[in-house]
Every structure is written in C-alpha cells, then in structure tokens.
Amino acid sequence: MAINTTAFAAPPQHNHEHISVGDVIHTETGNDVVIKINEDQSFYTAPLRNSLLRAADTCSHNQLEAYGSKTSTTSSYNKSDSTYCYKTRTLQNARCVQCKKTGFKIYGSWTDVKHSYPLFGSTCKKCGYKK
C-alpha cells in the first residue's frame, strides 16, 4: 500500500533546502529525527522517540537497508519560478541490516520537474504558471 507523505524540517526553500543531522522532521505519523545525510542530500531518519541511542545498546544502526515500495513526496514551487513547476523525492521505509530493527526512513534527494505547456499555450498544465 503506497501512501503519499509530505515531510519537512522547515518550509522548503526552493532549490536550497538545508537539512542537518538532528533536525526534526514532522510527518503525518509523528516526528522523526535526521540521523545521516548523504552527499546527494538524501537522508535517513529514525523515530524521535527511539533516536537517542544509549551506550548500552548493542547496535548502532549505522547500516540501513530499504524495504517495501517507494512512495513519492512532492513539494510545490513558488509559481514565480520560470523554470521548474515542482520538485519530488522518494520516501522509503528502512531497517537496520544488523539487528533488523524497523522504523527508519530514507528520503531521496530532490528532483526538479519542469513546467509543461500545451502546444501553442503559455500556461503550465500542472501549476498554472504563465510564461
């Protein structure tokens, strides 16, 4: 079952969203905390209630693997953007490779989607931007 979820740490800032380790992500199912960021700006989260790993924990949850189907997260651009209509990124559940604990999530990097105009038209079919 695929569910679309909008996630944000702060309102998206068009092309330069900045996420840091420790940021809280508010989702429809609760709060998660960013635990790792990749070079392409994709990142991993853990449920906030379980994110504080104790010294007694036997697993650091450093190796996560995706499972299940990907869902798409979408964020609309400002209608004054002349190049891009909106941006998307994937969201997928993850589990620890070592201990198999679940509840982690993998957010893909943002992909920009350009405006789509009808033949001989000047208004974007997706967002209503007028060139």
Using an 8 Å Cβ cutoff, are 108 and 93 in contact?
no
Domain that holds residue 88: 1-131
Looking at the structure of the chain, the number of domains it has is: 1
pLDDT digits (tens, 9 = 90+) for 52-87: 544 445 677 778 888 988 888 888 777 778 889 888
Percent of the chain whose pLDDT exceeds 90? 8
What secondary structure does DSSP assign to 56-68, as a single string? T-S----SEEEEE
With bands split at pLDDT 50, 70 and 90, how would you rate the model's confidence at 4? very low
| Full-model pTM | 0.65
